[in-house]
Amino acid sequence: MAEKFDVAVIGSGPGGYAAAIRCAQKGGTIAIIEKEQIGGTCLNRGCIPSKALLASAHILTIAKNASLMGVEIENPKVNWNKMQTRKDAIVAGSGKGLAGLIQSNKIKIFQGQGFVTAKNKIAVEGSNPAQIEAKKIIIATGSVPIEIPAVAFDGKNIISSTEALNLSHIPKSMIIIGGGVIGCEMACIYATVGSKVTIIEAMPNILPFEDEWVGQLLTRELKKIGIDVITGKKAAACEKSDSNVKLSLEDGQTIEAEKVLVSIGRKAFCDSRTIKTLSLEMNPVRDNKSDRPDSESTEAASKAVVSNGMNGSAIKVNEKMQTSAADVYAIGDVVGTTYLAHGAFLEAEVAAENAMGGNACIKDYSLVPRAVYTFPEVASVGKNETRCKQMGIDYTIGRAFFKANGRSLAHNETTGEARVVRDKKTNEIIGITMVGAAVTEMIACARALLGNKEPICEISFAHPTVSEVLKEAWEDAFGISLHTPPKR
């Protein structure tokens, strides 16, 4: 006999668990179905483990540079096993906490692969098979890494980010195909702990979804930690031996390394039986390879793609996160909009509200911040200069530099810049991009500044703080930066 619920959520990543908890808070009876570990990609093989390793690598950098700040640390070195154990403990502890949180909201967890068998009906396959009946269904099944057929994953020498987070030893050398967010973050981890890292990016710049200056500034900094960056070239073929991979690029250049990490992006993933049963309308294979959505609406994001109705294409939704099937919503990576955990959180809020009888919608994806945890970090929100040019917006920018910021000098982290984009016609602040230490922590504050038409004197930035860089750039966008000499 089927167990009955108000809402059943398939997938327990940031999209799925957030939607489930919100629905429960609104008084619904909720089921969540998960085929692997609670927490999804983000907690188990994404955001959290990668940031744990990056934090250890960052400490090593600080220790190595401590002498510059008058602190002598003799021969700081990596304990890779300890780094891994610490990362695993953070993931395991958070997973346990999350499972407890879900249960404390009286949400029933079903362990197994869930798929829709008929309208309002879900089957769970696995060691504890089950039948579920739900008035509403939310699909939050996430995404998987994209493969390059000529450089196919073997899980040993040619790996995805999942294996890269769990290597048993530090490889002598690593080629990273793809200079997007995941590729650049992995490069920072491995170069810092001692691998010889080469990034290969097909576009003219790494982080190709950001303005050109961002990729160029980051390239300069990555080179300083020994990373080779090859841009404008594609990997074409590979030859494998037991301990090595020889990679050929399209122009005939060859490079060898112990490991090749393919991180050219992720693609939406959904059980094809669910797609078929519900005759779900799909969007074309939209992946996160080269760009992030900066469209103003889900509809605009949808138009960017073509339908093939198979795994790898994204489920089509409207701005209420409704799919083409009645009473079925889809959120997170499976809809191919942001490929970000906080994008999934946002969509979860909207789907939960609507599944429980409300009327919520997502208006502007460009307001979802983008954050890259490299050395130095990159963060942006709203329209960048590239987007303004594409849209024919007459804009001006305000700039400020970390080397002129007191706290950055104190921390010996003086690389970077903040740029604030002002629409000259409306006078509104419409975009902010920052490269520098701790900018991922400042991007929520930057988001709050968007839409303002004048500098707000009442907002007092504590002094000295790194966030004063944002204030300076913002004031500069209006031509009144306190610490910038008058422009001639």
Ligand X SMILES: Cc1cc2nc3c(=O)[nH]c(=O)nc-3n(C[C@H](O)[C@H](O)[C@H](O)COP(=O)(O)OP(=O)(O)OC[C@H]3O[C@@H](n4cnc5c(N)ncnc54)[C@H](O)[C@@H]3O)c2cc1C
Residues serving a catalytic function are 463
Locus of tokens 């992030």: 292
Tell me if 336 contacts ligand X by CB under 6 A: no
For 383-389, which contacts have Cβ atoms below 8 Å and span 24 or more sequence positions? 383/294, 383/421, 383/430, 383/431, 384/210, 384/211, 384/294, 384/421, 384/431, 384/433, 385/211, 385/419, 385/421, 385/431, 385/433, 386/210, 386/211, 386/212, 387/294, 387/431, 388/421, 388/423, 388/430, 388/431
Task: Give the residue with the Cβ less far from ligand X, 260 or 429.
Answer: 260
Q: Does 115 bind ligand X (CB under 6 A)?
A: yes
Minimum CB distance to ligand X smaller for 94 or for 484: 94
Q: Are 469 and 405 in contact (CB under 8 A)?
A: yes
CB of 265 to ligand X, least distance (A): 10
User: Binders of ligand X among 52-111, rule CB under 6 A?
Assistant: none
Smallest separation, CB 222 to ligand X (Å)? 17
Which helix (H) or strand (E) element contains residue 63? helix 47-65
CB 355 → ligand X: shortest distance, Å?
A: 15
Interaction residues for ligand X, span 166-185 (CB under 6 A): 182
Number of residues binding to ligand X, judged by CB under 6 A: 36
Chain Cα centroid distance, residue 292:
10
Task: Pick the closer one to ligand X by CB: 19 or 430.
Answer: 19
| Per-residue buried b or exposed e for 8-35, using 16+ beta carbons within 10 Å of the residue's own CB | bbbbbbbbbbbbbbbbbebebbbbbbbb
Q: Residues 397-436: x/- map of binding to ligand X (CB under 6 A)?
A: ----------------------------------------
Query: Exposed e or buried b for every residue in 292-313, given b needs 16+ CB within 10 A?
Result: bbbbebbeebbeebeeeeebbb
**Sheet strands (E) in 358-402:** 370-372, 377-382, 395-401
Question: With respect to ligand X, which residue has the nearer C-beta, 142 or 215?
Answer: 142
Window contacting ligand X (CB under 6 A); options: 33-41, 96-104, 353-361, 457-465: 33-41
Q: Which of 9, 21, 23, 34 binds ligand X (CB under 6 A)?
A: 34
Q: Which stretch binds ligand X (CB under 6 A): 34-42, 95-103, 304-312, 427-435?
A: 34-42
Q: How far is the CB of 211 from ligand X (least distance, A)?
A: 20
The C-alpha atoms of residue 309 and residue 113 are separated, in whole angstroms, by 20
CB of 292 vs ligand X, minimal distance in Å: 11
* Nearest distance in Å: CB 133, ligand X: 16
Tokens of 71: 């602190």
The residue with tokens 């422009």 is: 487
Q: Smaller CB distance to ligand X: residue 6 or 271?
A: 271
Beta carbon of residue 112, minimum distance to ligand X (angstroms, whole number): 7
Q: Does 163 bind ligand X (CB under 6 A)?
A: no
**CA–CA gap between residue 91 and residue 111 (Å, rounded):** 19
Site for ligand X in 181-220 (CB under 6 A): 182
Choose the binding region for ligand X from 63-71, 222-230, 333-341, 375-383 (rule: CB under 6 A).
333-341
Query: Distance between CA 323 and CA 455 in Å, rounded?
Result: 41
The position carrying tokens 């490269």 is: 435
Q: Is 332 in the site for ligand X (CB under 6 A)?
A: yes
Considering only 5, 9, 20, 50, the residue that binds ligand X (CB under 6 A) is 50
Residue selected from 201, 271, 377, 385 as contacting ligand X according to rule CB under 6 A: 271
Please, which residue, 101 or 237, has the CB nearer to ligand X? 101
Q: Of the two residues 345 and 402, which places its CB atom closer to ligand X in the complex?
A: 345
Cβ atoms 337, 319 nearer than 8 A: no
Q: Which helix (H) or strand (E) holds 200?
A: strand 196-201
Q: Of 6, 12, 53, 191, which lies in the binding site for ligand X, with binding defined by CB under 6 A?
A: 12
Phi first, then psi, for residue 407 (nearest 5°) are -70, -35
The token pair at 477 is 């966008």
Nearer to ligand X, 141 or 219 (CB): 141
| C-beta atoms surrounding 470 within 10 Å | 25
Measure the CA dihedral 289/290/295/301, to 10°. -40
Per CB under 6 A, does 341 bind ligand X?
Answer: yes
Site membership for ligand X, residue 265 (CB under 6 A): no
User: Of 120-149, which residues contact ligand X (CB under 6 A)?
Assistant: 140-143
Which positions touch ligand X (CB under 6 A)?
10-16, 33-36, 40-42, 45-47, 50, 113-115, 140-143, 161, 182, 271, 332-334, 339-342, 344
